[in-house]
Chain A
């Protein structure tokens, strides 16, 4: 069934292509810069000659394998805790009595109001009380109760008509069962979006891991990457920064392509409501 007329489709596709060409620029620039030796790049001679020099220097200056591993453990481990905690809470919030639900919304939202800088000192004190400084668990714990995840999933759950759940309740299903079997599949795209957001955010996060982690073998990728930017302040190694950025971002492109299928077609909702 075509709901948009043919000339309009053509026009919209043209707009999409134009926008995409413009937005291609950052990625193309970064890749081009990463392939240009710094001595040319600093004179503004982009792609004057092409070499993998910057990548070799970047790969030599840090143990990337270890950095990737630590970042993966941190970002995925955190997700494994965030998803059950936020999904349970989002469902509880969405189906709580109206007044309590309203209050809870603000209680969770409050997390957005504190700037991340304000959290560093008190959370560090708390983490050290638990003896978790210099551990990946220590950097993950403050993020388990994610307001982003809870509120996004709450919005998703409130898009589901309650009739389905009521039918399941009458059939004798428990709430937890309903959440896992009925609700969670229906909010799949929201869970996918949240996974991607959380993964990208924590992959690139810098100051908090820098404060908590002290031993080099526990370092995460973003902290390793920062050593390039710091070097740049003295010598403006833009080529090296670009190569580092490509190395940091590459796994995220893969993560996006994997999460991508959640957004393709509404596999969940079709046939739910007429």
Chain B
């Protein structure tokens, strides 16, 4: 690769905006939240909320990312049927979360919801999953996954378009099976996109809070659905305690940083880039 000295120039506009609107606010939260950090870390509620958040991510992210990948593979192409299918898979992304969640509230209503009735009759569940503390978190995680997987489908579709056709044709001529083609061509060449989607899905999933407000206000009966960001929202807006919300934000940013420094190099080791 030919050396390029003036690359920092290309990063200048981004750096200015990043400094003003990301790093300055980070500093602000550090100064505001630091005196309350100890208080927040001693609070058992914070730790409970953290473990709830982990479980929530472990359910929602794999579900949404794999649905996104599956639907991208199934609908890649130009036929009108595929275009229609893409619109259908994508449309929950467009709907406001409050509206999307209120559909589920209707369906899963503990007394009259049609889906609650169906689950009861089939003997799968006795009560509505949003009324049963054992299933609340999983239900919220799946509602979030169903809302967002269309977005990941979009990223995967963009990634699929950059895989050269010739590779597929060559593999087909060699008589490779569909699975082998997926495993040896699509998956590795899609890996830069997958890498991005996984990170993006973790962040997006954590940021979805509106559906929690609609389906289980106050984070469920015993806080079983109080993910960390929801706790931050409750602290900031319901209890109007901004410094403690800042301290909680610091905890979240700190955890993210640690997770990223540990996890991302591992994740990126499996990524195949064409430029190096």
Main secondary structure of the interface of A (DSSP, over half): helix
Q: Is the CB of B158 within 8 A of A192?
A: yes
The reply on A155 being an interface residue by CB < 8 A is yes
Q: Is the CB of A117 within 8 A of B163?
A: no
Q: Is the CB of A109 within 8 A of B273?
A: no
Smallest CB–CB gap between A219 and chain B, Å? 16
Which B residue sits closest to A251, measured CB to CB? B94
Chain A residues with Cβ below 8 Å from B249 are 114-115, 117-118
Q: Is the CB of B89 within 8 A of A23?
A: yes
Q: Is the CB of A155 within 8 A of B192?
A: yes
Q: Which of A52-60, A62-70, A196-204 contacts B (4 or more CB under 8 A)?
A: A196-204
A89-B14 Cα distance, complex, nearest whole Å: 6
A170-B158 Cα distance, complex, nearest whole Å: 30
Q: Is the CB of B103 within 8 A of A30?
A: yes
Q: Is the CB of A256 within 8 A of B161?
A: no
The reply on B260 being an interface residue by CB < 8 A is yes
Q: Is the CB of A26 within 8 A of B103?
A: yes
A260-B75 Cα distance, complex, nearest whole Å: 12
Smallest CB–CB gap between B210 and chain A, Å? 9
Chain B residues with Cβ below 8 Å from A123 are 21, 25
The reply on B39 being an interface residue by CB < 8 A is no
Q: Is the CB of A175 within 8 A of B11?
A: no
The reply on B85 being an interface residue by CB < 8 A is yes
Which residues A114-128 have CB closer than 8 A to chain B? 114-119, 121-123, 125-126
Q: Which of A20, A110, A162, A190 contacts B88 (CB 8 A)?
A: A20
A20-B253 Cα distance, complex, nearest whole Å: 37
Q: How many residues of A contact B (CB 8 A)?
A: 111
Q: Is the CB of A141 within 8 A of B94?
A: no
Chain B residues with Cβ below 8 Å from A264 are 77-78, 83
Given A96-B7, A241-B98, A241-B102, A23 and B88 contact (CB-CB distance below 8 Å): yes
Smallest CB–CB gap between B91 and chain A, Å? 5
Q: Which of B44-52, B57-65, B194-202 contacts A (4 or more CB under 8 A)?
A: B194-202
Chain B residues with Cβ below 8 Å from A16 are 71, 74-75, 82, 85
- The 0/1 profile, CB within 8 Å of A marked 1, for residues 101-113 of chain B is 0110010000010
Given A27-B91, A30-B95, A162-B1, A112 and B161 contact (CB-CB distance below 8 Å): no
Q: Is the CB of B14 within 8 A of A88?
A: yes
Q: Which of B8, B74, B200, B233 contacts A117 (CB 8 A)?
A: B233
Q: Which of B4, B18, B160, B229 contacts A145 (CB 8 A)?
A: B18
Smallest CB–CB gap between B177 and chain A, Å? 9
The reply on A38 being an interface residue by CB < 8 A is no
Q: Closest 4 CB pairs between A and B?
A: A92-B10, A145-B17, A89-B14, A118-B249
Q: A105-B264, A118-B246, A175-B4 provided; 7 other pairs, C-beta below 8 A?
A: A19-B85, A88-B10, A115-B252, A148-B200, A150-B14, A158-B192, A269-B161
Between-chain CB contacts (< 8 Å), 22 pairs: A19-B74, A27-B95, A92-B11, A95-B7, A110-B26, A113-B252, A113-B256, A115-B253, A126-B20, A155-B196, A158-B274, A158-B276, A159-B189, A160-B275, A175-B7, A189-B157, A189-B158, A241-B98, A249-B94, A269-B163, A271-B166, A273-B274
On A, residues with C-beta under 8 Å from B are 1-5, 8, 12-13, 15-17, 19-20, 23-27, 29-30, 44, 84-86, 88-89, 91-96, 100, 104-119, 121-123, 125-126, 141-145, 148, 150-152, 155-162, 166, 169, 175, 179, 186-187, 189-190, 192-193, 196-197, 200, 204, 222, 225, 229, 238, 241-242, 245, 248-249, 252-253, 256-257, 260, 262-266, 268-274
